[in-house]
Structure 1
Amino acid sequence: MSTTENKPASLIRFEKARAEHTAKMTAFNAVAADITRCEKERQEAIEAGKEAESYWRTSFRKLRGNLTAELRAEHSQRIASRELADEFAGLLKELELDKQFAMLRCCASGKEYVEAHQTAFTEFADAHWESALRNVSPSLLWAIKLRLQRESIASTFVGEDRDTTRDIAWLVGNALTRAAIALPESILKEAPLLENIGLYRPALTGVDMELYNSPVRRTKMAISVQAQLDELKGGDQK
């Protein structure tokens, strides 16, 4: 396994960006899970409050307003259920804002992740391209040289603007590109470094892509969320 010392800087940045984005998505999913749980518990508190309210009123009328210890306890329970539901409602407002902030962080880390992948993959591809050019087969160069000479003897390209070097460059490039396309994609996965980087742009699963693709929307959301959080905190301090 490669050590940090011999890894390209672009790969180190990519791995760091990938880890940071994973952490941001984990945090976002945790907030989303908290919201789901709180919504469920709030609904349960509401239902419990309704049931306690109905039972208490029935008992209150049945006892003609005689507040027994049991009835007083039931009264406290129905008030507690109502207050608990209200507390959950307030908490859910904060969690929804936390969720939006978490998504903004995911958009930022996702952008860094995608850009780091682009850089790492590009450097990897360019390095192999340059290496291949330095080590190109002499027989291929010989064949190209012959093809250039053949064109001067028996031209296959027509037109007043024809250029032998340009035409053969196109011919060679087209032939090599078609041969490369014909190779199985599995051959690309044989390089451990490339397997680490990945052949394709990272899939930002779970990220709001409309938000991701709109810096203006992200800025407006950040300002709005911060203002709402400040308002909530100000209300708590009163």
Structure 2
Amino acid sequence: MTTPEQKPASLECFEKARTEHTERMKAYNGICADIVRCEREQQTAIQAGKEAESNWRTRFRNLRGNLTDELRAEHSQRIASRELADEFGELLKELALDKQEAMLKCCGSGKEYVESHRKAFTGFADVHWQSALRNVSPSLLWAIKLRLRREGLSPTFAGEDRDRINDVAYLVGEALTRAAVALPDSVLKEAPLLENIGLHRPALTGIDMELYTSPLRRQKLAESIRAQRAKLQEGSQK
């Protein structure tokens, strides 16, 4: 556990995947924040437009249609508020597609993140497993040798067709596994690389898990986004 460790390629891939996923989630959350802000600004513009419309019509009637400079300015303002609200509406349509597209990217980076964690953790565990096997205590091997002889003389399990090597392998595995389970989790922190990798699968907070687990859903959403973008592009060119 305390042997100096070199950073394996699988860990470098994991760190890269973690960074990319973090950046994509930041981009997604940024779009969500933009949508909230634009919706708020749109509602403000709509409300301002309604108030300007009501005030202008009242003043227009009171002045019997006499378009003073002030009334003309108010007219321009009410039109501007209406157009601004419409612009926010169009922008929100685009942002909604950006949000969906960003979530698709997050699903992709999330899968890379989880898979790279699996490979990094598996590689780390395998390296330490092989190291432990190469450095098994001679006293343990001696005790196992004795146990094999003991099983030949006085079997632990009944049955004439028992294989004493398999039986001892089971007994050794069970004993060592129980001893390992009894160790506190704090011993795992002695390995800096493992602390970097993490013991558990990365938490994909904020990910649409139904989309994440369904390739078909992701494919259909991607097709829908392309179709809607094309439609918006056609509308902007008219």
TM-score (norm 1): 0.95
Return the offset for 1:116: 0.6
In structure 1, what is the Cα distance between the partners aligned to 2:236 and 2:49? 25
- Output the CA distance in 1 between the equivalents of 2:110 and 2:155: 53
Shift of 1:22: 0.9
Distance between the aligned counterparts of 2:189 and 2:56, measured in 1? 69
Partner of 1:92: 92
Give the alignment's Cα RMSD to 1 decimal: 1.0
Alpha-carbon shift at residue 236 of structure 1 (Å): 1.4
Q: Which amino acid aligns with 1:70?
A: E
CA distance in 2, matches of 1:205, 1:175: 38
**Separation (CA, whole Å) in 1 of partners of 2:42 and 2:70:** 25
Which residue in the other structure is 2:198 paired with?
Answer: 198
- The residue type paired with residue 48 of structure 2 is A
User: Could you say which residue in structure 2 is the equivalent of 1:184?
Assistant: 184
What SS does the corresponding residue of 1:30 show, helix, strand or coil? helix
What is the 5 A alignment of 1:48-63?
Answer: 48-63=48-63
Deviation at 1:207, TM superposition (A): 1.0
Superposed counterparts of 1:1-238, under 5 Å: 7-238=7-238
Counterpart amino acid of 2:119?
T
Alpha-carbon distance between aligned partners in 1 of 2:109 and 2:200, rounded to the nearest angstrom: 18
- Structure 1 residues not aligned, in runs of 5+: 1-5
1:187 and 1:117 mapped to 2: Cα distance? 20
> Matches of 2:222 and 2:161 in 1, distance apart?
58
- Greater shift, 198-207 or 92-101, is seen at 198-207
8 Å Cα contact 2:35/2:92 also seen in 1: yes
Deviation per residue, 1:60-105 (Å, 9 max, x gap): 2222222211111111111111110000000000000011000000
Task: Please give the per-residue CA displacement for 1:204-225, whole angstroms capped at 9, x wherever unaligned.
Answer: 1111111010000000000110
Higher mean displacement: 220-229 or 65-74:
65-74
SS in 2 for 1:204: coil
- SS at structure 1 position matched to 2:156: coil
Q: CA deviation at 1:160?
A: 4.2
Gaps of 5+ in 2: 1-5
Please give the per-residue CA displacement for 1:151-203, whole angstroms capped at 9, x wherever unaligned. Answer: 11112211344221111111110111010000001111221111111111111
Q: Contact conserved, 2:7 with 2:193, CA < 8 A, in 1?
A: no
Give the share of equivalent positions with the same residue, in percent: 73
Shift of 1:59: 1.2
AA partner of residue 131 (structure 1)? S
CA distance in 2, matches of 1:155, 1:112: 50
In 2, distance between residues paired with 1:187 and 1:234?
Answer: 62
Letter in 2 for 1:120: A
Letter of the 1:54 counterpart: S
Structure 2 match to 1:3: none
Distance 1:34 1:43 in 2: 14
Alpha-carbon distance in 2 for matches of 1:236, 1:65: 36
2: distance between equivalents of 1:190 and 1:37?
46
For the residue of structure 2 that corresponds to 1:158, the secondary structure is: coil
